[in-house]
Structures are given as C-alpha cells and as structure tokens.
Homo-oligomer: A and B are copies of this chain.
Amino acid sequence: AATRNASRRVVRCAARGNQTRARNELSMRKPEYFRSGLGAPVLALTAVGGLYYLYKRGQEKRSRVFIEPEDRKKVVILGSGWAAVNLLSNINTDAYEVTMVSPNNYFLFTPLLPSAVVGTLQPSSIIQPARRFYKDVRESRVKFFEAACTSIDPEAKVVQCKDDSPIVGEKSTFELDYDYLVVAVGSTPNTFNTKGVYENAYFVKTIEDARRLRNHILDCIETANLPCTSEAERKRLLHFVIVGGGPTGVETAAEINDFMEEDISRYYPALKDDIKVSLIQSGDHLLNTYSEAISIKTKDAFERQNINVIFNSRVVSVDEKEITVMDKQTKENYPLPYGTCVWSTGVSLNPLAKELIASLPEQNNRRAITTDKYMRTKGAPEIFAIGDCGTIEQEKMLAKVTDLFVEADTDKDGSLSLTEVKEFSQRIADVYPQMRIHAKNIPTLFAKHDTNSDEVLSLDEFKELLKEIDQGLTTLPATAQVATQQGKYLATVFNKHLHTTNDLSSAEAFQYNHMGSFAYIGKNDAVMDLKQGAFSGFVTWFMWRSAYITKQYSLSNMASMAFDWTKVLIFGRDISRQ
C-alpha cells in the first residue's frame, strides 16, 4: 500500500510538472548552439534533423516522471568516462538531483586515442566537455565538480572529494551526501609490477598520455637527426617498442608505423632506414580476444608493414634506454635498446575501487567491485558500480542443481524432456546469463548429456549439462561497449524504479549485447570481429571510421574528426613538437 501511495504521488507531481515544463519547452525550441546569425548554411543542413530531434525529445519528456526538486533523491556519479556519461545523458533530471564528480571535466573517446598520439586526429577532436552531456545546461540541473573522489563511506552515505589539480582554493576538500552513488571511475594501466615501467614507459590511457607520447616520439626523431648523434644512438632513438598485443597495443603500433612511413620518412629522408617499430606480445597471437582468422590477418599485415612482432616474450624491466625481454621458450633474458616504450598490457583496479572493496567484507574479488545483476555493489546496495571498475557476479547453477531440477520438471515426472529443458533455459536466462550463451545449443547439449539415450535427462545427467554451461561463465570485458550499455541500463533502472523505493525485484537484469569489435591495423586496413564472421580490408577500415564518427556524442566532434581525417589525407600529419 505504501508503495502504491508513493507512486500515486509521483503521478500527481508529474501532472504538475508538465505545466511548468510547458513554458520551458518554448525556450527550448530555439536551439542554443547557434549563437550568431552566421551559422545559416549549417542551420539549413541540420534543420530537418534538429526539428525531428526536438519533437522526439519533447514527446519523451512528456512521458517522464516529474518529482518536486525538494523530494528528489540525490544521485552522485563518480567519473566522466563511458559509463558515467551514458548514465548522465539518459537519467531523468526531473526526478533526481544529479551531481557528477570527476578529475577530468571532459569525456574522452578512448578508442581513437591511438590516432591522437600521432596526430591522425587532434586530441581536442576526441574529447568533449562533461557539461555538454546534460541537456539543460542553462538551468544548471546537474552539478559538475572537477575533483577526485578520495573515499566512500557506505554507512554514512557520504563521499569525500578533493581538488587534485594544480590550482586549489584555501580549502580543497569537500563532502557530498547521496541517496545513490554510482561508481564509474574506470581502471588504471596494469604494469604487473614490472620494474621501471612508470618511470620510463608511456601509457595510452589519457589525453595527456597521448600528448606526452607524441612529443616524446618527435623528440627522439629530432635528436636522432642531430649531427652529434652516433649511429648506434640514432638506431636506439628510432626504435619504437610497444608492449602488449591487445587492441590498444596493435592500434598504437599501427598508427606509429603509419606516421613513420607516411610523414617522418618524407621529412627526414636520412632517418628512414633506421626506423623500427616492434611489438612485444606475451602469447603467440595478436588480438587474442578476437577470432583466430583476425589474429592471423593482423600478424600478416604487420609482417608486410615490417612491424617487428616479438611473440612469446615477457618484459622483465624497462630501463632508461634498454628493455630486458625474456624469451618464454628459452627462458633467457636479452636487452633491447629502445627510444620509446609504450606500455599497453591491460588494466587493473582503480585505487578508489580498491579501497571500497577493502572496506566491504562482502567483496571478495580483488580485480573489480562485485555487483549483482542490477549493478548494485555487494554489501552496499545504494552504491552502483558500472564500467571497467565493476563486475557482475554470476551464480553457478550447479550450486542449486536440485532446486533447479524441480523447477525445470514441470510435469513432475522426475525427468526432463527436451521441451522442459528448452523452456527452463528461457525462463532462467535472466537470473543466470550464462544460460543465454547456450540458448541455441540446447538440443545439441541435451543429446550429448543424455548418455543412456532415453530422450530424457536424469538428475545426474542434468548436473553434467549445467556444469558445462557454467563453464561458459565469463566476466564481461573491460570495454567501452560494456560501459556504455551499463550506463544506459542504469539510467533506465533509475528512470523506472528508484524514485521512491529501493526495490528492484521488478527490474530487468542487465543484459550485454555484444556488437562486435574493431581494430585498426595500419595502412588504411582494419579488422572487424562480428558474430557473422571476421572482416578486414579497405571497406572494413572505412566502416571503422564511419562507425566512430557516428558514435560521437556531438556534432562538433563529428565535424572535427571529419576535418582532421581529410586534412591528414591531403596534407599529411603535423610534425611539430609542441
């Protein structure tokens, strides 16, 4: 009854809200981007799309819940990355008081960061102010604070924040209390405690990383070009080593190699023959999360481009001018003189997330914050963890096999027919997502585990079947794709459920929908791993670019990217060391 009352109150408020909003609607129809009469040509181009968008948005807004400002629950979002901005731009700010806290006042489009390293794109083209993600900037509905969260108190429901930038006021820390906290702080690079990485290698994780790496690369080239540089020293300076054969490592190697072949060789013809790009991979495949066809394709492409791939090797240490590499087969160490080392071997836990895990006895995974299927932190249900820093706990079905058997056995005959198993698999896919992966294979699995071929499964046979399905349990990868879907999902959860209650039992569980993966492999070639198969070549490369242009969150960045790409196509990349 309480819940029903509350929801009635919400509806009443919504009606009231509609009136005040009607007025705002009017001023909203004047698009705020156009500040000057000179935007005419662009205006013409975007008019149709714009009007349609405003119409849709108006419609959407009218169907939204409205809650009086003083009754709104406080939602604090930590971070301004993929997960955070997708939540921010979809959460109903008519129903929640939203505050975002992040040390970066912008969102970074990470997949294109390797392009920004060499100047295929300008760094400014792939970032976007976080404040542009909330729709009613002028009404200051959302608060944004440029600060880092330093600690979370789940008991008191308070976060401590600190201005960690160069300019700080007399007081640089503050507290925020919340009803719901969303932790979307991402991850940090993983060095596997390798000696010298922090001191001597570069990461490709932040926009500052890209700028510093770019200037380092150009500095190596200019130094190699000086008359006082010996031949050995020149070769060392012109050796670019990328550690890690995942997508970021591969793309960075490809972009650096493009830069060398297309631009540096042209302006520094004397250096051309001494330039070398190497990639060190611990396993024997590049892009080993992609299909094998793609690994092979990438290896071949790198061979053709003279990128020196060193397989089955581990970096032991990175000294100032030398990397020590261990050959995993011979177990021998050898030195590799280098000028630039890029470290890209995966991610580890953000310090804040680490602290949160340590403070909650319910948390036992050391690699990410464990959540339920609604992304609620285990042990602190008012805290959500999304994106790289969270991981959804997946229950093994085997643990409850007897109960599940009873549930599946709808005709209560003590054994399960194929139809019963099929229906059962659909019913519980929400609770056990691992089931979803095998949904189409049920007949095959059924046949396989029906060892006595009696067309039904006994409890023991059913056990074996669940065991195999449980093995398919994998945690979701740390990608922008997952983070985006989680951000959007959580916005829906907020917009539908949490206005007045904490109860999520009627909510749908998060369901990841993998759209496929891209990677740029150099020389206008890209690979694409889809359910439908593996693709590569110029057309794929073109799709890669198109996909990333359309994925931008602002017209302004779309235009910048298109401009940057065209400019590089015509004039080449800039070689200024700024």
- Residues on A lying within 8 angstroms of B by beta carbon are 32-36, 38-39, 42, 104-106, 122-124, 127-129, 131, 137-138, 140, 144-147, 163, 165-174, 176, 207-208, 211, 216, 218-220, 222-230, 233-234, 237, 262, 266-267, 269-270, 339, 554-556, 559-560, 563, 566-567, 569-572, 574-578
Contact = CB atoms under 8 A, between A and B. Distances in A.
Contacts of A165: 219, 222-223, 577
Contacts of A106: 576-578
A42 B226 CA distance: 36
Contacts of A167: 216, 219-220, 223, 237, 339
A567 B122 CA distance: 14
18 contacts: A33-B572, A38-B569, A104-B577, A128-B576, A129-B267, A140-B269, A144-B225, A146-B223, A165-B222, A167-B216, A167-B237, A169-B223, A169-B233, A169-B234, A170-B229, A170-B233, A171-B229, A555-B571
A173 to B, nearest CB: 6
A150 to B, nearest CB: 13
Contact of A559 (B39, B129, B567): B567
A560 B570 contact: no
A575 to B, nearest CB: 5
Contacts of A270: 140
A225 B163 CA distance: 11
A160 to B, nearest CB: 11
Contact of A35 (B267, B563, B569): B569
Q: How many copies does the complex hold?
A: 2
Q: Which 3 A-B pairs have the closest CB atoms?
A: A106-B576, A146-B222, A174-B228
A569 to B, nearest CB: 5
Nearest to A166: B219
B560 A556 contact: no
A32 to B, nearest CB: 8
Most buried by B among A35, A39, A123, A169: A169
Given A35-B262, A169-B237, A555-B571, A208 B129 contact: no
A555 B571 CA distance: 9
Nearest to A269: B140
A178 to B, nearest CB: 14
Contacts of A574: 124, 127, 129
A561 B226 CA distance: 32
Contacts of A556: 567, 570-571
Contacts of A138: 266, 269
A27 to B, nearest CB: 14
A34 B129 contact: no
B145 A226 contact: yes
